[in-house]
């Protein structure tokens, strides 16, 4: 919660600066009001954890992960009218962005239903907002991949090149850490080398669904498989049907469009 509070406070400072001069000029300091956050489209809600940082009087009518229909109120806040007005845009920015991520995540999850394959998010997040965006992805039903470079080992092509090859990269990683190890393989030769060394988690990147299915047939259950690279809403089911345990897509966070939410203020 500390990271979230810091992100919200930075955003408020960026917008309010030395003061909301419009609200101060137009609205009496003693005026109190209520504010309603209203959905203007069908969406999956996320980002409500930012609201308690901004508002002392908050009533959530919907919660993260809830399906919200057009016209429904997701939250109600009360307080000084000036405070509600100065927080309006920042609150909407967070809710619209994060609900957009959750809505995109749910669309991916819906596409792979019945396949037994799980959808993963990635580290392709907005700098400074990773925790919030991963919370939003999870609210949409996606499984969170590693949070950062510190909580799991994912050996990719540049690591392999720097280490001196597949076997050496795996050997070094096993000697250095007890963390889970996943390794990217780009050719059949790399695939076989990784399996021969005993790799238990493989990343197949930038293959077609047909190619991935062929490689997974060769793997034959000796390692778990994640497919990444070019995974979209249009093709994610084809990848999920290859027999992979996981598919990952950066689009869930880096390309999710903001949803339409509005804020309506009413005087008390």
Which sequence positions are flagged as catalytic? 89, 124, 156, 184, 205
Q: Read off the tokens for 183.
A: 């390794």
Q: What is the DSSP letter of 165?
A: S
Q: Read off the tokens for 13.
A: 């400072």
What are the CA-CA distances from residue 57 to residues 64, 84, 267 (Å)? 18, 11, 15
Q: What is the largest CA-CA distance in the chain?
A: 74
* Residue 223 neighbours by CB distance under 10 Å: 20
Angstrom distance (rounded) from CA 152 to CA 91: 33
Quick one: how far is CA 153 from the chain centroid?
A: 19
Closest CA to 36 of 62, 16, 14: 62
CA geometry: angle at 114 spanning 180 and 191, to 5°?
A: 40
Tell me the torsion sign for CA atoms 136, 137, 139, 143: negative
Quick one: how far is CA 69 from the chain centroid?
A: 21
């Amino acid at each position: 919660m500390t990271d979230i509070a810091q992100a919200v406070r930075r955003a408020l400072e960026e917008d309010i600066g030395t003061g909301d001069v419009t609200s101060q000029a137009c609205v009496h300091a003693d005026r109190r009001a209520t504010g309603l956050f209203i959905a203007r489209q069908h969406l999956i809600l996320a980002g409500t954890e930012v609201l308690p940082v901004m508002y002392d009087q908050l009533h959530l009518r919907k919660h993260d992960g809830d399906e919200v229909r057009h016209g429904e109120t997701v939250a109600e806040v009360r307080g000084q009218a000036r405070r509600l007005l100065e927080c309006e845009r920042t609150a909407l920015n967070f809710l619209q962005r994060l609900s957009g991520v959750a809505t995109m995540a749910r669309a991916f999850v819906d596409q792979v239903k019945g396949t037994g394959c799980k959808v993963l998010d990635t580290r392709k997040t907005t700098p400074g907002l990773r925790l919030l965006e991963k919370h939003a992805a999870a609210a949409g039903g996606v499984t969170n991949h590693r949070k950062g470079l510190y909580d799991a080992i994912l050996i990719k092509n540049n690591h392999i090149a720097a280490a001196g090859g597949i076997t050496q990269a795996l050997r070094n990683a096993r000697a250095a850490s007890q963390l889970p190890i996943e390794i990217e393989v780009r050719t059949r030769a790399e695939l076989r080398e990784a399996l021969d060394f005993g790799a238990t988690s493989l990343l197949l990147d930038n293959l077609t669904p047909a190619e991935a299915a062929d490689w997974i047939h060769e793997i034959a259950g000796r390692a778990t498989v994640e497919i990444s690279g070019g995974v979209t809403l249009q093709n994610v089911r084809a990848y999920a049907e290859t027999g992979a345990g996981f598919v990952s897509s950066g689009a869930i966070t880096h390309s999710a469009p903001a949803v339409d939410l509005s804020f309506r203020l009413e005087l008390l």
